[in-house]
């Protein structure tokens, strides 16, 4: 069974550090992507996804937050809002390093993924 996007219960989304974040357009692509992540060894506990109105409410809490490298983080929040308004899915995966991030982007590309960025300890990098 595919992972489900978060429902908004007033919780706060964590900052993007240590994650690769990007988008897939359809539910079918989202399900195929999360299944490929699991097959590659990424457990559900390392995957966070948002979609629809719940996702927009969760992102709203990040718009007023100050991040360490604010340009990249602010950009991904704004891009996520635009993507969710198109009914796309945002997916964040906890990664150990850039090598993991690149593997995830490769898997996402096979499922129509786009707009992926890696948020490392001292770097923010657009990967797709």
Q: Is the pLDDT of residue 108 over 60?
A: yes
Per the listing, tokens 């409410």 go with 57
Would you state the pLDDT for residue 91? 97
Q: pTM higher than 0.85, yes or no?
A: yes
Mean pLDDT, the chain, whole residue set: 87
Domain regions of the chain by residue span: 22-126
Q: For residues 8 and 83, is the Cβ–Cβ distance under 8 A?
A: no
Report pLDDT digits (tens) over 42-95: 999 999 999 999 999 998 877 665 444 445 567 788 889 999 999 999 999 999
How far is 92 from 48, CA to CA, in rounded Å? Answer: 5
Report pLDDT digits (tens) over 36-50: 999 999 999 999 999
- Chain centroid, CA 41 distance in Å: 17
CB within 8 A of 124, min separation 6: which ones?
69, 71, 72, 73, 117, 118
How far is 56 from 65, CA to CA, in rounded Å? Answer: 15
* Token pair of 83 as six digits: 């993507």
Burial of 119 from C-beta contacts in 10 A (0-12 / 13-18 / 19+): buried
Would you state the pLDDT for residue 68? 47
Percentage with pLDDT > 90 across the chain = 63
């Amino acid at each position: 069974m595919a992972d489900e996007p978060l429902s908004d219960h007033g919780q706060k989304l964590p900052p993007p550090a240590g994650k690769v974040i990007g988008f897939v357009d359809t539910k079918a692509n989202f399900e195929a992507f999360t299944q490929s992540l699991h097959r590659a060894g990424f457990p559900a506990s390392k995957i966070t996804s948002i979609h629809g109105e719940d996702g927009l409410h969760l992102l709203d809490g990040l718009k007023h937050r100050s991040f360490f490298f604010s340009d990249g983080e602010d950009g991904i929040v704004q891009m996520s809002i635009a993507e969710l308004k198109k009914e796309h899915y945002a997916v964040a995966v906890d990664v150990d390093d850039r090598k993991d991030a690149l593997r995830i982007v490769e898997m996402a590309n096979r499922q129509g993924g786009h707009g992926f960025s890696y948020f490392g300890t001292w770097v923010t990098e657009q990967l797709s």
